[in-house]
């Protein structure tokens, strides 16, 4: 794990998988994240230790979300989505993710995924921030998740009440 950067994508992916099995992955993550250069390796990072010890993450998440490296920010948003939208949820987390979004395409897509998941798990809180500050995330989420999912989860009239369309423009 110490030899970085890796030459091949497969080495990075294997490195990510090995980190996922560590009992205390934070140090290795902080060493590895600056070298992550694609979404697949980034999204493969889902350490098992995080499921039982979300308190380990509270100090690191702001660092990841405020990084200048886009895949570190994407990783931080992914951690928020995987481990903090259920029993560890706080409405302030929605604002933290919204503030972390950069112009990077892969960061925006993870943010859209996060907010789409937040709408499914924490609807009242998520729709509130989307109405107040981040309506563009919901539009991106609608395109990302597809019409069928959204029409199954949210009634058409509910989305229209928020000024949203459920069909991509090319399908109207």
pTM over 0.85: no
Residues in the chain: 172
Give the pLDDT confidence of 109-155 residue by residue, as tens digits: 999 899 999 999 999 998 888 777 655 555 666 666 555 454 555 55
Mean pLDDT of 20-44: 94
Q: At what angle do helices 92-100 and 105-121 cross, to 10 degrees?
A: 160
Mean pLDDT of 38-54: 89
Query: What tokens appear for 23 in the block?
Result: 């009992």
CA–CA dist 78, 150 (Å, integer): 21
Residue 161: pLDDT band with limits 50, 70, 90: low
Residues 6+ apart with CB under 8 A from 45: 16, 19, 20, 29, 32, 36, 75, 78
Whether the CB-CB separation of 104 and 72 falls below 8 Å is answered with: no
> Residue 67 has what pLDDT?
96
Q: What is the pLDDT of residue 20?
A: 94
In the predicted model, what is the mean pLDDT of the chain?
A: 82
Task: Report the distance separating Cα 72 and Cα 88, nearest Å.
Answer: 21
Q: What integer pLDDT is reported at residue 167 of this predicted model?
A: 47
90 pLDDT more than 70: yes
Please report, rounded to a whole number, the percentage of residues in the chain having pLDDT higher than 70: 76
Mean pLDDT of 33-45: 96
């Amino acid at each position: 794990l110490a030899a970085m950067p890796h030459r091949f994508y497969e080495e990075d992916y294997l490195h990510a998988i090995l980190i996922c099995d560590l009992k205390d992955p934070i140090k290795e993550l902080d060493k590895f994240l600056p070298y992550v250069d694609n979404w697949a390796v980034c999204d493969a990072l889902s350490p098992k230790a995080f499921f039982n010890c979300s308190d380990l993450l509270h100090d690191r998440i702001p660092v990841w979300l405020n990084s200048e490296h886009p895949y570190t920010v994407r990783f931080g948003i992914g951690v928020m989505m995987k481990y903090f939208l259920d029993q560890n949820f706080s409405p302030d987390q929605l604002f933290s993710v919204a503030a972390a979004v950069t112009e990077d395409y892969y960061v925006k897509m993870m943010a859209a995924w996060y907010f789409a998941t937040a709408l499914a798990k924490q609807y009242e809180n998520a729709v509130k921030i989307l109405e107040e500050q981040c309506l563009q995330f919901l539009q991106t989420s609608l395109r990302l998740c597809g019409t069928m999912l959204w029409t199954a989860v949210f009634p058409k009239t509910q989305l229209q009440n928020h000024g949203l369309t459920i069909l991509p423009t090319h399908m109207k």
